[in-house]
Chains A and B, each alone.
Chain A
Amino acid sequence: MASFSPPLSSTLPTSLNRVHFSRRNWLCFLQKRNQSLFLAKSIENGAGNVNSIATEEKRESSPVAVAEKKEEGAKKAESLGLNGTVSTSVKAEVPSFKDERWVGGTWDLKQFQKGGKTDWDAVIDAEVRRRKWLQDNPEASSNNEPVVFDTSIIPWWQWIKRFHLPEAELLNGRAAMIGFFMAYFVDSLTGAGLVDQMGNFFCKTLLFVAVVGVLFVRKNEDIENIKKLIEESTFYDKQWQATWQDENSSDKN
């Protein structure tokens, strides 16, 4: 598979803004902290004994055990059909995602018409709301009403129009401003006008560096992100090569 650098550099800010336990994800990932809190039981049980791993044998003969687990996150509990014995616990009634335009597991595009054409912006907004809802209230998957909507239904030009173009405008503006002032600056230093500057190899290199720089380093945070990305992408490899590192260093001794 090809490399994915453009999308990757933007994951880190979003994940860091998430629920605070996911911030711990990154820290834990980068530090090798051993968090096996569950598996403290040691293996020294003597020959032939099982259960060194945290196994519990639960001989439950009623569905209550499974049902109680469901209470913590029960959504469409009434439709689950195991209610005979569950009346004792309180069911948290969390409503499922409802929107009149969400029909049969997908967005009904006929309801998004504006001026005879589909208003894709509104479709994107509706999907964003649905995903936000689902993050807060995860729903049970169901075979009766499977989700059919996938993002490729929205045409490519809509994505470009809404997301790419504004940012492209911003970056082009910045690049133009930087370019103008650099051209003026170099002209005042060397006396070479714009045409002479463009003929020079060194200037062309600088121009290239400037364009690439603006593409990848859009905010100050991006420099940190790129460093972290490089560190992370080589991390796994370093763990595998650890054996050979030792060998090299011992040879030098």
Chain B
Amino acid sequence: MASITSPFLIPSKTKTKTCYSRHRHLTITASSRPLRAAVIGGGPAGASAAISLANANITTFLFERNPAGSKPCGGAIPLCMMEEFSLPPSLIDRHVSKFLLLSPSNLPSLFSRHLSAESHYIPMLRREVLDSFLRERAKEKGAVVVPGLVTGIKVPGSDKEPYVIRYTSEGSIQTIEADVIVGADGANSRVAREIGAGEYATAIAFQERIRLPPSAMSYYTDLAEMYLGSDVSPDFYAWVFPKCDHVAVGTGTVSSKTSIKSLQASLHARAGSKLAGGTVIRVEAHPIPEHPRPRRVVGRVALVGDAAGYVTKCSGEGIYFAAKSGRLCGEAIGRLWREEGKVTEAGLKREYLKKWDDEYLGMFRFLDILHKVFYMDDAGKEALTEMCADAYVQKRTFECYLNKKMTVGPPWEEMKLAWRTVGSMMRNRLLGKEVEKLRKLEGSYPSII
């Protein structure tokens, strides 16, 4: 277990505690040099970290093994991300302002029936467009983008030594030294493996990209669908999300990974005629972390984004949290360097992890509760769909999702909401129990799909 509190000491005149004044500069002696940071992984997390690091005048190397690749991803970002990361509207392929939720018994619930489309929409974009935009910005700020695959990291024995990163680029093996590493290399993170960050449980997301004929595609112009039911996913949901000129049709699961193909087939059956005439142009799958790794900061290495496991339950959202955590980590490193003159494990935990947990743990916990209550059986999914038809729920959900702020509404409304939720859950649970009783009576069990 790496509990190396490894202060990387530079000869400096003063050792300060956490800062109080921006104008207090550490005097750096001539023999020391600027901090070298390596960000491994050039997705939203890595690029944001590189941008923040470069802004703090830290020598930054951003490693990306596949700059032109497209990632299997829903491609939906919350509205607040446009503003927080100054994303130009030209990146967006389409605005999804209608969201259709379908319960196991096919009860539809149209989200945003009660909301205006101009201010409540989900921007959909292509990952390759977003990722390369952020990497370009990192390059502009001064980061060096290294197209290469990192194959190994040598963890130093003492605090004075740097990390040695071995990578292949343009066919040759090269090494580079770095004082601080930000691991942003996704769900199968190599950095996490090298530093012993621990494992996490993953869900698998499997999706097909289907090109539909124009008449079918017009139905999905600004509409995304979410299918609930144990036939399409026992513990998650299946989706049809419109992308630039095709739809992404997929499903995910934690517990039934071996049946993913049959779950996908059931999704096709459920979507029915809406996908008629489509041709499959791509099939892709990827693991999605279910919870953070046990150790997100080890030594002078910090994990961000999917590598750290920042994907919410219930909605499976990760892009925003990846970018935000990358930015927070980069800023934390910059602050530590500027104010304390050294980057340590304790410092990283204090400035990055603690701030991250304080800000977002509540939201992650809340979504986990929603997941546990509503996703685990058909009755819960029915109740969720019924609740989502309600105007108040839609408003609050969009506020929380699009603005990423957990707000509490007026207490009377919250109580009414709780009452209605409990009522809906109980009714559907009772019906579920009756179905079980009927099954026992008739002696039949559903066949495994």
Chain A residues close to B by CB (< 8 Å): 1-2, 4, 6-8, 10-11, 14-15, 17-19, 21-22, 24-25, 28-29, 32-39, 42-50, 52-63, 65-66, 69-70, 72-76, 79-82, 124-125, 127-132, 134-136, 138-143, 146-152, 154, 156, 159, 163, 232-233, 236-237, 239-240, 242-243, 246-247, 250, 253
Contact = CB atoms under 8 A, between A and B. Distances in A.
Contacts of A17: 436
Given A55-B282, A66-B280, A140-B270, A72 B377 contact: no
Contact of A140 (B148, B168, B272): B272
Interface residues of B, number: 127
Interface stretch (B10-18, B153-161, B421-429): B421-429
Interface in B347-388: 349, 353, 357, 361, 364-366, 368-370, 372-373, 376-380, 382, 386
Given A44-B151, A80-B273, A246-B295, A21 B427 contact: no
Given A19-B445, A246-B295, A141 B102 contact: yes
A8 B379 CA distance: 11
Given A15-B377, A151-B431, A159-B430, A240 B292 contact: yes
29 contacts: A2-B415, A19-B448, A28-B254, A34-B202, A36-B257, A46-B168, A57-B283, A58-B280, A65-B279, A66-B210, A66-B280, A70-B268, A73-B268, A73-B269, A74-B269, A128-B431, A131-B105, A135-B446, A138-B270, A138-B449, A141-B227, A141-B270, A148-B107, A151-B424, A151-B431, A233-B369, A239-B292, A240-B357, A242-B198
B69 interface: yes
B422 A7 contact: yes
A4 B429 CA distance: 12
B72 A14 contact: no
Contacts of A46: 149, 168, 171
**3 tightest CB-CB pairs across the interface, nearest first?**
A140-B272, A73-B269, A2-B418
Contacts of A53: 72, 284-286
A54 B205 CA distance: 11
A17 to B, nearest CB: 6
A39 B188 contact: yes
B330 interface: no
Given A21-B259, A29-B254, A55-B282, A146 B108 contact: yes
B244 interface: no
Interface stretch (B75-83, B86-94, B228-236, B331-339): B228-236
A24 B204 CA distance: 16
A12 to B, nearest CB: 9
Nearest to A94: B269
B380 A47 contact: no
A55 B364 CA distance: 29
Nearest to A25: B255
Given A47-B168, A243-B294, A129 B282 contact: no
B433 A10 contact: yes
B301 to A, nearest CB: 13
A94 to B, nearest CB: 9
Given A124-B431, A149-B107, A4 B422 contact: yes
B348 to A, nearest CB: 11
B65 A66 contact: no
